[in-house]
Amino acid sequence: MKKITVLGSINMDIVMKVEEMPLKGETISVQDVLHIGGGKGANQAVAASRAGGKTNFIGKVGKDEDGSTLCSLLKEDNIDISHVKVDEQYATGRAFIMVNRNGENSIMVHSGANMTIEDKDVADAQAVIRESDFVVSQFEVPVHAIEEAFKYAKEHHVCTILNPAPAIAKLDSPLLAHTDIIIPNETEAASLTGVIVDSEASMLEAAKRFVEMGVRYVIITLGSKGAFYYSADSEFGFVSAFKVKAVDTTAAGDTFIGALASQLNVVEGKITNMEEAILFANKASSITVQGEGAQPSIPHKQQIDAVM
């Protein structure tokens, strides 16, 4: 069983079901409103735990009902929340998600307490970091905190996984030098490398730029097409996605990352089962998009194993 520590965001997702996305200045009717556990960090932790990983979480919530509810949901998924702290000033993060009839979404996030994570919070969790196989993070928490966690992880030979989402145009930080595996989508890869990712040649170019920045492995997720991977040893390949009818794509990428972390094998700093782990993660994502909401749609290992 892989030991996975996630440093990340915890949000209450307010999901609005609509027929079509509104145009600029347009008022539309909402068919249904749901309150669901979310946040990229929490989603990834849930995905890792349900896929068989032993998962710890580092994060912050507000002193409010949303925070209490979300922490309870994490505990129900056997996630250790000993290092989820309560901020006295800021509210728990919220995401406002519109989902249309084709399962496509549009998301607005109010970070709240997520952005109050400090270096001290990471320092308080050093014991669980050094005992982990993987430390995972995303850009819904302060970059300086991620850097602190990754730097400490690398000092103790713990593999680091960065999901650079939401996309940022410039990263003024040595974070990538402490990143073993980076997992962007096409937009996020383009934002950080300046390479428009629209072909195998451009994927290779973007991946090589990440390696020049210090990353050892690059996995570019391509939605319904699958995922492309590249290593500093110039090994690369493509793993196709499973063809399904999407109901809601929320948390598909988060499911991929959590499920992947639960399966990767690292021997002396080298991943030995990249394609198999990506295939497993693709299976998990294909199940997630067939359900509604973020965490409720994330599958358990037996569901993933059952996918042919």
Q: What is the pLDDT of residues 236-284, one digit of tens each?
A: 999 999 999 888 888 999 999 999 999 999 999 899 999 999 999 999 9
273 is known to lie in a ligand binding site: no
State the catalytic residue, choosing from 87, 121, 133, 254: 254
- Pair of tokens at residue 206: 């973007």
Q: Which CATH number fits domain 3-305: 3.30.70.270, 2.102.10.10, 3.40.462.40, 3.40.1190.20?
A: 3.40.1190.20
Share of the chain above pLDDT 90, in %: 89
The pLDDT tens digits of the residues spanning 188-238 come to 999 999 999 999 999 999 999 999 999 999 999 999 899 999 999 999 999
Quote the distance between the C-alpha of residue 49 and its chain's center.
Answer: 13
100 is known to lie in a ligand binding site: no
Sheet holding 105-110, edge to edge: 32-38, 11-17, 93-99, 105-110
The stretch 178-191 carries a mean pLDDT of 96
The stretch 38-60 carries a mean pLDDT of 97
Q: What does DSSP say about strands 54-62 and 3-7: parallel, antiparallel, or unpaired?
A: parallel
Q: Is the pTM of this model over 0.85?
A: yes
- Pair of tokens at residue 140: 């819904």
Half-sphere exposure of 288 (CA within 13 A, CB side): 32
37 is known to lie in a ligand binding site: no
185 is known to lie in a ligand binding site: yes
pLDDT (0 to 100) of residue 308 = 64
What average pLDDT does the chain have? 95
- Rounded to 5°, the CA angle 126-5-47 comes to 170
Domain ranges of the chain: 3-305
User: Can 254 be counted among the known catalytic residues?
Assistant: yes
State the amino acid at position 43 in one-letter form.
Answer: N
d(CA 126, CA 149) in angstroms, rounded, equals: 8
3-state secondary structure of 60: strand
